[in-house]
Amino acid sequence: MMCGITGTPGTGKSSVAAELERRGHRVIHISDTIGDFVTGDDPLRDTRVIDDERWAAAFPHTDGVVEGHLAHLLPCDRIVVLRCRPDLLRSRLLRRGYPEAKCAENAEAEALDVILTETVERYPDDAILELDTTILSIEECACRIEQFMQGELPPAYGGIDWSHYLIPQP
């Protein structure tokens, strides 16, 4: 079974994947697989441009966990979308040294459910699990993902709404 872990940058994908790896799961980090598919840089968005269609088509189906914010573009058997409250996400990214504009862009994407929406468009309902890393520890997330992979935790998504973070505060 190939299980993807996706989400906006800063939601905890790498941390949860490291815990799953520590528990004996095979983990593939998407950042290690995109090298041949980078087509340039987008300086306005401070990001690399990737031919994601070519990358996804070339990605081998594997038994294990695939981690990265593009995992939902792969044909995974199950997919987990990690979520984080936008204000906390922004502060995590600022601590990483992201530019303010990039922090704001990612916090807005999280409030708008961008990754979840893209995932729901590509996967059947019974293959998606959404986890809120704002309230769950890394260990709790890893446990739930293991349960989901084993069919012991039912799929669930759509219960998180951070749209109020898009409304300017007085």
Spatial contact of 84 and 132, defined as CB atoms under 8 Å apart: yes
Q: What pLDDT does residue 170 have?
A: 55
Q: What pLDDT does residue 49 have?
A: 79
Q: Is the confidence at residue 144, as pLDDT, over 70?
A: yes
Spell out the CATH class of 2-160. Answer: alpha beta
The dihedral through the CA atoms of 104, 87, 73, 99 has a sign that is positive
pLDDT in tens, 84-129: 999 999 999 999 999 998 999 999 999 999 999 999 999 999 999 9
- Which helix (H) or strand (E) element contains residue 87? helix 86-95
Please report, for the chain, the start and end positions of each structural domain, with discontinuous segments joined by +: 2-160
Q: Which SS3 state, helix, strand or coil, does residue 7 take?
A: strand
Q: Which SS3 state, helix, strand or coil, does residue 125 take?
A: helix
Q: What is the DSSP string of 134-167?
A: TTS-HHHHHHHHHHHHTTSS--B------GGGGS
Q: Is the confidence at residue 46, as pLDDT, over 70?
A: no
Spatial contact of 150 and 20, defined as CB atoms under 8 Å apart: no
Average pLDDT, stretch 139-161?
97
Question: Would you give the end-to-end CA distance of the chain in angstroms?
Answer: 48
